[in-house]
Structure 1
Amino acid sequence: MAGAFQDYISELFEPLGGVAFRRMFGGVGIFRGGIMFALTIDDALYLKTDEASRPRFIAEGVGPFVFDSRGKTVTTSYWRLPERLFDERDEFADWAAEALAVAERLHKPKSGKVRKSAPKAGR
């Protein structure tokens, strides 16, 4: 993500504080506290959703980020931000905060423990 779009997106996310951008998979992941809650690809912004938040996106007529992998279509839980929200900063902040809350709820921290195989019988 470079140029004017990145600058604008960075500005939109400022109220959340501590948001970081990281290049990945041909786009940019948007993180806070190490948890990804949004992404941009081809100058489109997608926010993390769950069953509870998804109806807002459906009502706005937008859809999920989809991509092809090994001949199969993969549908993600990241849904496109309605275009009107780029001009509605307060409402954008609400949607972004909800996406962050969804990502935090769904986040499964890595344990950091290395699993050891159980010893085989007879040894």
Structure 2
Amino acid sequence: MVASDNFAEFLREQLAPLGRVTMRRMFGKTGVFCDGVMLGMVTENTLYVRVDDHNRAAFQEAASHPPLNYEKQGSSIDLAFWRVPERLFDEPDELVTWARAALAAAHRVAAKRGRATSGRASNPR
């Protein structure tokens, strides 16, 4: 399920210190982009952010929840997006800190894949 309009607007406001935050529907979910780089996904108004080997230790609190996943040929495939703890929505500065770490991971993933990490904006919703 995609992010509600209210939740999407809340995220854009909260994550504004990172840069231009946009949302785009994809795979039945909502992708969260900053300056064209996908740092997170929302499903059922729950924010999941990009995690990789460099920032995994900082996200151990998020590891208590299963990562975002999808079903493929009868198997569950975990994605590198971990659920943000609910308490962060009451701590805007810490939410931005987590999002900044997720954005750094998203840039590393994009660099590995040979994609530009700036200059390409997504749907400006």
TM-score greater than 0.5 by the shorter chain: yes
Number of the residue aligned with 2:26: 24
Asked whether the equivalents of residues 68 and 78 of structure 2 are also in contact (C-alpha less than 8 Å), the reply is: yes
Alignment: residue pair count: 111
Q: Does the alignment pair 1:38 with 2:24?
A: no
Q: Does the alignment pair 1:95 with 2:98?
A: yes
For residues 47-90 of structure 1, give each alpha carbon's deviation from its aligned partner in whole angstroms, at most 9, with x where no partner exists: 00012322333334233112212211100000000110011011
Q: Which runs of 5+ in 2 are unaligned?
A: 117-125
- Larger RCO (CA within 8 A; separation ≥ 6): 2
Amino acid at match of 2:82: W
Q: What percent of counterpart residues are identical?
A: 36
Amino acid at match of 1:78: F
In structure 2, what is the Cα distance between the partners aligned to 1:104 and 1:6?
Answer: 22
4+ residue runs of structure 1 moved beyond 3 angstroms?
none
Q: Which runs of 5+ in 1 are unaligned?
A: 112-123
Quote the offset at 1:17 in angstroms. 1.6
Q: TM-score, normalised by structure 1?
A: 0.81
Q: Does the alignment pair 1:66 with 2:69?
A: yes
State the structure with more CA Rg.
1
Number of the residue aligned with 2:10: 8
Asked whether the equivalents of residues 41 and 47 of structure 2 are also in contact (C-alpha less than 8 Å), the reply is: yes
Asked whether the equivalents of residues 57 and 63 of structure 1 are also in contact (C-alpha less than 8 Å), the reply is: no
Amino acid at match of 2:52: D
Which moved further from structure 2: 50-59 or 29-38?
50-59
More helix by share: 2
Asked whether the equivalents of residues 57 and 82 of structure 1 are also in contact (C-alpha less than 8 Å), the reply is: no
Q: Does the alignment pair 1:105 with 2:116?
A: no
Once superposed, what is the RMSD of the aligned Cα atoms? Answer: 1.7
